[in-house]
Amino acid sequence: MEFYAFDNAYLERLRSGDFRTVEHFVSYFSKLIQLKLRSRVRSPEAIEDIRQETFARFFAALRSPDGLRQAEKMGAYVNSVCNNVLLEYYRSAARHAPLADDEDAPEIPDVKVDILGGVITRQTADTVRNILDDLGERDRRLLKEVFLDERDKDDVCRDFGIDRNYLRVLLHRAKQTFKSHYIKNIGEERGGAAD
Amino acid sequence: MDHNEALQEMLAEKYLLDELSPESREEFEAHFFGCTECAEDLRAGAVLVEGIRSELADRPAEKPAEIPVQRGGQSGWLAWLRPALVVPALAVLAGVIVYQNFVTYPQLKTAANAPQVLPWASVSVSSRGANAPVITTRPGEGFLLFVNVPPDTRYSSYIAELRNPGGKVDWSLAIPASSDDSYPVHVPAASRAEGTYTLIVQGVTATGEKTEIGRTAFELRVL
């Protein structure tokens, strides 16, 4: 049985509260939710609140009689729920009343509130260092000014005499190199298939 | 939005660079929440960006490579007007002028004024089958051609045209008609190649009509 496939079997395991499935689900979508919220919500506490509320509503819907039954719509549904929670946050309305204490509700694992959803491993840091070392000094300065100094990208492109596409291609190539190492490392961290 | 569109539009990169409009961003988010490939791609990109921030924050700031600046601030073609270049160039030019005025020109003047025996040959436009005469010169030495043309009262003048071994016209000379049948032509010194030269003579009437009278050849040899 494929551990990572978002199929109906996965959905059923999720509904039944299988711990490893729930852990994987939360870990996977937590990272996506954090990526989604980082440009919209400043407060890490607010990000965590929205994340928790999103998962709470998702599991409530999953276990309801009219809830989610099609695995292929699972990701879109998580995104939709997160959008609704975010809207409520923006409106500063009264938060969705917390669910009544449900002993059967799956416990949502706590995750670190950072964009990575985890600590940068030494292997990852070494990979990033090698990628940067292979770049020219000019490209390193470019990436520093964009991602570390967070200068306006139009100003940076003008100063370096490049266009936005140069920046995208630079990032794309670095990402492609990084992915081959990153996905391999992630695969090793996931462990074996579920029972 | 489908997966291919997301790849072609480099939406993951644009998302990480915060370049998407609010509508495009929501559309891409709706896509990658349901597309594991794009989700992995985006997650890897996000980890990379965080890694870049962390790594570059620990490195000392790099300065852009400096372009060497010429002393004196001169640039472009004006940089050639440096004393180190101009002085030697002027010295060479002065040397050329002195040599020409004190060596070359006097030699040419002497050569022009002093009597000298020149190589010569007699060529006849009316002769056929005769062997071409040979003229032997030194490099840069002129020679004499005695051009024999049968008198013809129809013509008021003649045009003599010399063609080199390649067939190209070397020179063209107008010769006033006379009662004589031989016209001495001084061919001045020039760098000429060895080989067979052809002399073509045309008769010109008073009305300007031209008629080829004949042609002859001679062999030029250079010592």
3-state helix, strand, coil in chain B (%, to 5): 40, 25, 35
Distance between CA atoms of residues B29 and B19, nearest Å: 14
Report the pLDDT value the prediction gives residue A117, as an integer from 0 to 100.
46
For residue B205, the enclosing domain spans 120-222
Domain boundary among A74, A91, A108: A91
Domain boundary among A68, A91, A114: A91
Taking only the tens place, the pLDDT of each residue in B137-165 is 888 788 888 888 888 888 888 889 998 88
Q: Is the ipTM of this complex over 0.90?
A: no
Confidence tier at B86 by pLDDT (50, 70, 90):
confident
The C-alpha of A105 sits at a distance from chain B's nearest C-alpha, in angstroms, of 23
The C-alpha of B68 sits at a distance from chain A's nearest C-alpha, in angstroms, of 17
The C-alpha of B85 sits at a distance from chain A's nearest C-alpha, in angstroms, of 36
The C-alpha of A187 sits at a distance from chain B's nearest C-alpha, in angstroms, of 11
Nearest 5°: the CA angle B63, B65, B71 is 120
Does A145 lie in the same domain as A82? no
Token digits of residue B63:
């300065």
Domain boundary among B19, B39, B58: B58
Does B125 lie in the same domain as B218? yes
Taking only the tens place, the pLDDT of each residue in B112-141 is 677 778 888 888 887 655 578 888 888 878
Name chain A contacts of B52, Cβ cutoff 8 Å: 128, 132, 143-144, 147-148, 174
For residue A149, the enclosing domain spans 122-190
Name chain A contacts of B48, Cβ cutoff 8 Å: 128, 131, 171, 174-175, 178, 182
Report the pLDDT value the prediction gives residue A193, as an integer from 0 to 100.
39
Please report where in the chains the tokens 């009544």 appear, as a residue: A100
Name chain B contacts of A36, Cβ cutoff 8 Å: 29
Report the pLDDT value the prediction gives residue B146, as an integer from 0 to 100.
87
Residues of chain A with pLDDT under 50: 1-3, 93-94, 97, 99-100, 112-115, 117, 192-195
The residues facing B211 across adjacent strands are B203
Q: Which residues contact B65 (CB under 8 A, 6 or more apart)?
A: A137
Query: Does A135 reach chain B within 8 Å, measured CB to CB?
Result: no
Distance between CA atoms of residues B67 and A153, nearest Å: 25
Q: Which of A89, A144, A97 is nearest to B59 (CA)?
A: A144
Quote the radius of gyration of chain A (alpha carbons, Å).
20
Name chain B contacts of A137, Cβ cutoff 8 Å: 62, 64-65
Contact state of B48 with A178 under an 8 Å Cβ cutoff? yes
Q: Which of B63, B83, B57 is nearest to B71 (CA)?
A: B83
Report the pLDDT value the prediction gives residue B213, as an integer from 0 to 100.
86
Distance between CA atoms of residues A152 and B123, nearest Å: 91
Residue B200 sits in a domain whose CATH number is: 2.60.40.1930
Domain boundary among B11, B42, B58: B58
Which residue would you say has higher pLDDT here, B95 or A76? A76
In a domain, B64, yes or no: no
In a domain, B130, yes or no: yes
Range among B19-23, B115-119, B157-161, B199-203 with highest mean pLDDT value? B19-23
- Give contacts of B 8-47 with A, CB under 8 A: 10, 12-19, 25-26, 29-30, 32-36, 39-47
Query: Does B7 reach chain A within 8 Å, measured CB to CB?
Result: no
Distance between CA atoms of residues B135 and B146, nearest Å: 12
Tell me whether strands B157-163 and B195-204 are parallel, antiparallel or unpaired. Answer: antiparallel
Alpha carbon distance, N-terminus to C-terminus of chain B: 89
Token digits of residue B149:
């043309």
Distance between CA atoms of residues B173 and B155, nearest Å: 15
Cβ contacts from A onto B, under 8 A: 122
